[in-house]
């Protein structure tokens, strides 16, 4: 059964990475428009790494 679960986890992992990429794109867009502070960007990156773990 462990082997059957691996593809599902892999699919979920790819979905998370796609979501993070889209979030990263919007953050970069915001950075150009509103110039978000670096501290806020670091917090977003930390949360993104926690989601992946």
Is 31:10 a contact under the CB 8 Å cutoff? Answer: no
Q: Does pTM top 0.85 for this prediction?
A: no
The whole-number pLDDT of residue 3 equals: 46
Whether 43 is in a domain gets the answer yes
2-34 and 38-52 helices, crossing angle to 10°: 170
Q: Is 3 inside a domain boundary?
A: no
Q: Is the pLDDT of residue 4 over 70?
A: no
Is the predicted pLDDT of residue 2 greater than 50, yes or no?
no
Number of structural domains in the chain:
1
pLDDT at 43 over 70: yes
Domain assignment present for 50: yes
Structural domain span for residue 28: 21-53
Is residue 52 included in any domain, yes or no? yes
What would the two tokens of residue 46 be?
Answer: 């930390």
Q: Is residue 37 part of a domain?
A: yes
pLDDT at res. 1: 44
Residue 45 CB contacts under 8 Å (≥ 6 apart), including other chains: none
């Amino acid at each position: 059964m462990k082997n059957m679960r691996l593809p599902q986890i892999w699919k979920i992992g790819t979905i998370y990475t796609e979501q993070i990429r889209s979030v990263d794109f919007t953050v970069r867009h915001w950075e150009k428009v509103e110039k978000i502070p670096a501290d806020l960007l670091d917090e977003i990156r930390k949360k993104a790494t926690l989601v992946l773990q």
